[in-house]
Amino acid sequence: MTQKVQIIIDGKTVDLPVLEASNGLNVVDVRELISEGIYTYDPGFLSTAACDSSVTYIDGDNGVLLYRGYPIEQLANQSSHLEVCFLLLNGELPSQTQLSSFEQEIQSRMPVDDHLQHIFEGFTEHSHPMSMLCAAVGGLASLYHDGLDIYNADHRRETALNLIAKIPTLAAMTYRKTKGEAFLAPDPSLNYAENFLHMCFGKEGERPNVSPTIAHAVDQIFILHADHEQNASTSTVRMAGSTEANPYAVMSAGIAALWGPSHGGANEAVLDMLGEIADESRIEEYVEKAKDKDDPFRLMGFGHRVYKNFDPRATVMQESCHAVLNELGVDDPLLRIAQKLERIAREQDYFIERKLYPNIDFYSGITLKAIGIPTSMFTAIFTLGRMPGWITHWDEMLSAPFKIARPRQLFLGPGKRDYTDIKIRNVDENLRSH
Ligand code: ACO
């Protein structure tokens, strides 16, 4: 039965159609409300669908995450990141022939133009990798702009291949810049994750030497981060893309949004927090701080806007984290603090009542630290993983009619008033009235 929602505005009943979702909640179509002279209000988009999409489905209450219908646990344990990239971009899993040719296409595009490499000369060893990535990915726009038609599906595909291929190279370059080391070119004999690790940690002139367990864990991290429906950075990509901007610049906007500690910067923030706690004896003190309403401190790596029971990515990441720690024989005091924090969060009423569970960032931060990746690189790795998701959403938006994203506002500022000459202006009074 077709549902509708009725609202009454000044005694007039307005019928709003309800759009049926293939999975999950239906959506009230409020577009006609503007003709009734009223807007909807939903800061932070807590209950607003800003688009329709067929890419990723999340059921936050039941801890479900599906890419194109496939459960994240199955993809993380049985596929590879490039297979997932193919799935996201094309909607279906590839055949062996399709996957091999896709891997080949990515491999051949991994090197980065010599000119672009000079962009890193403007940075120092202390520059944050995310600031370099914003610049480098945005800088790709200078190489791929003239002749790029975003309404041409072949051009969009070429853009997708380019970005997925070059992001590991650029991310590894940011790492080597922070180390003051010369860049290392991708090695065609290595797979995607191995190549990233080789470009980060390899030695010029030496044969690549990458542990398969570590490469597998990193590949899983890429898969787990590959898409997450309309999160802040993906919505930023859609919003910037809706202006018809150059896609490389659009992805740079996504990178900027991802950098924030409430989003992709969270796993870096987890490690900073564990380092600040520093000793198991201080855990209780920090837990009390997190519960104190007058203290802005929050337990980093806990809670999620969408997952209110458990984060399915955290479950996979927890296993992978332990596999890496076993392989490397790491007995890290920060991990002991992390495990105790996890226990507390599962036991204390404050966290149980608010459904605050460890999220993926909690475990990915510890895994990356064990691998030897510095915390400032964590969000760059998230960027690498999320790139196919951003491109897929950008492509999905451009494949159908869309409007430039232009939200409305509830205006609470002053009404029209006359300009007063500065000589007779009573500034103190103006400030007081605000
Ligand atoms: N530590 C302590 N208390 C918390 C935390 C936390 N990490 N997260 C939420 N709360 C509390 C809030 O204070 C609030 O309490 P109240 O009801 O008494 O006011 C309640 O839980 C609900 O919090 P909201 O802010 O409304 O939850 P929201 O869904 O808006 O926020 C967010 C989600 C931003 C992720 C939040 O939980 C947070 O800041 N977590 C820490 C940062 C983090 O780990 N971010 C990673 C997100 S996942 C990702 O980007 C891949």
How confident is the model over 93-113, as pLDDT tens digits? 999 999 999 999 999 999 999
Q: Which ligand 1 atom sits closest to the C-alpha of 301?
A: 44
Nearest CA to ligand 1 atom 13: 293
The alpha carbon of 354 and the centre of ligand 1 are apart by a number of angstroms equal to: 9
The alpha carbon of 302 and the centre of ligand 1 are apart by a number of angstroms equal to: 7
CA 119 – CA 132 distance, rounded (Å): 8
The alpha carbon of 29 and the centre of ligand 1 are apart by a number of angstroms equal to: 29
Task: List 71's β-bridge partners, or say none.
Answer: 66
Res. 338 pLDDT band, cuts 50 70 90:
confident
Closest residue by Cα to residue 227 from 380, 25, 391: 391
CA 327 – CA 146 distance, rounded (Å): 48
Distance of CA 89 to the CA centre of its chain: 17
**Alpha-carbon distances, residue 414 vs 407, 417, 429 (angstroms):** 20, 8, 14
Strands 56-59 and 27-28: unpaired
Digit-coded pLDDT (tens) for 6-63: 999 999 999 999 999 999 999 999 999 999 999 999 999 999 999 999 999 999 989 9
Which residues are catalytic, by number? 263, 304, 361
Nearest CA to ligand 1 atom 26: 305
Task: List 302's β-bridge partners, or say none.
Answer: 358
pLDDT reported for residue 296: 93
Q: Nearest 5°: phi and psi at 376?
A: -65, -15
- 22's tokens: 């293939």
Q: Which ligand 1 atom sits closest to the C-alpha of 264?
A: 50
Closest residue by Cα to residue 226 from 95, 330, 122, 83: 83
DSSP 38: -
CA angle 245, 247, 251 (to 5 degrees): 110
Nearest CA to ligand 1 atom 18: 293
Instruction: List all residues whose CB is within 6 A of at least one atom of ligand 1.
Output: 262-264, 266, 290, 298-305, 354, 356, 359-361
- 208's tokens: 């690549």
What percent of the chain has a predicted confidence (pLDDT) above 90? 75
Instruction: Answer yes or no: is pLDDT of 122 > 70.
Output: yes
At 56, which amino acid appears? T
| Residue 264, SS3 per DSSP | coil
Q: Phi-psi category of 300—alpha, beta or left, where left has phi over 0 and alpha has psi -120 to 50?
A: beta
The alpha carbon of 382 and the centre of ligand 1 are apart by a number of angstroms equal to: 20
Q: Quickly tell me which residue has 């909640």 as its tokens.
A: 25
| Residue 14, SS3 per DSSP | strand
Q: Quickly tell me which residue has 């002279």 as its tokens.
A: 37
* Claim: this prediction has a pTM higher than 0.85: yes
Give the total residue count for the chain. 434
Closest residue by Cα to residue 317 from 270, 252, 278, 283: 270
Neighbours of 344 (CB within 10 A): 17
Q: Quickly tell me which residue has 């300009």 as its tokens.
A: 419
Task: List 57's β-bridge partners, or say none.
Answer: 66
Digit-coded pLDDT (tens) for 340-399: 888 887 789 999 999 888 888 888 888 898 888 988 899 999 999 999 999 999 999 999
